[in-house]
């Protein structure tokens, strides 16, 4: 099944017009969060989520894995680039681009926050993740 999701269906800009809050649906049966919110049913138990309203969830997100990609395998993403598995909400892990110069700036379990990147003609506009300032690591 193909699910059409545009970025505006997945996140919205916060009042600073830079940071991002993701949209989720919380299952009324099992309390699991589903992302993206356009999914027709709960990812955990299968209950229909048609009547469930979206809810926002803001940072922090937790960096679970990361790797530097040197080969341009993904259209719109210039290499080298650091990609990560990021827990964007409890139990919801998605892959994303990390806005860092190198892996040396990262630690597993580190808190990161999603921000909007407008793109620069080489890379596409998208949500990227940057290390949160003023927070220590959280394994």
Q: Which is closer to Zn ion, CB of 29 or CB of 58?
A: 29
Residue 109 backbone zone (phi > 0: left; psi -120 to 50: alpha; other: beta)? left
Binding piece for Zn ion, criterion CB under 5 A, among 44-52, 71-79, 83-91, 117-125: 44-52
Per rule CB under 5 A, is residue 28 in the interface with Zn ion? no
Residue linked to tokens 């806005």: 99
**Contact predicate 106/96, CB 8 Å:** no
Per rule CB under 5 A, is residue 45 in the interface with Zn ion? yes
**Contact predicate 9/36, CB 8 Å:** yes
Among 5, 7, 29, 76, binds Zn ion (CB under 5 A): 29
Q: Which is closer to Zn ion, CB of 42 or CB of 127?
A: 42
Q: How far is the CB of 118 from Zn ion (least distance, A)?
A: 36
Lay out the site mask for Zn ion across 47-86 (x = CB under 5 A, - = otherwise).
x---------------------------------------
Q: How far is the CB of 31 from Zn ion (least distance, A)?
A: 7
Per rule CB under 5 A, is residue 27 in the interface with Zn ion? yes
Footprint of Zn ion (CB under 5 A): 27, 29-30, 32, 42, 44-45, 47
């Amino acid at each position: 099944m193909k699910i059409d999701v545009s970025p505006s269906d997945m996140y919205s800009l916060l009042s600073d017009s830079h940071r991002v809050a993701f949209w989720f649906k919380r299952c009324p049966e099992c309390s699991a969060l589903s992302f993206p919110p356009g999914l027709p049913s709960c990812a955990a138990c299968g209950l229909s989520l048609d009547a469930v309203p979206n809810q926002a969830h803001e940072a922090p997100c937790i960096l679970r894995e990361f790797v530097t990609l040197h080969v341009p395998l993904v259209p719109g993403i210039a290499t080298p680039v650091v990609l990560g598995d990021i827990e964007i909400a409890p139990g919801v892990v998605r892959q994303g681009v990390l806005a860092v110069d190198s892996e040396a700036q990262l630690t597993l379990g580190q808190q990161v926050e999603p921000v909007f990147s407008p793109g620069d003609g080489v890379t596409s506009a998208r949500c990227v993740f940057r290390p949160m300032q003023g927070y220590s690591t959280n394994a």
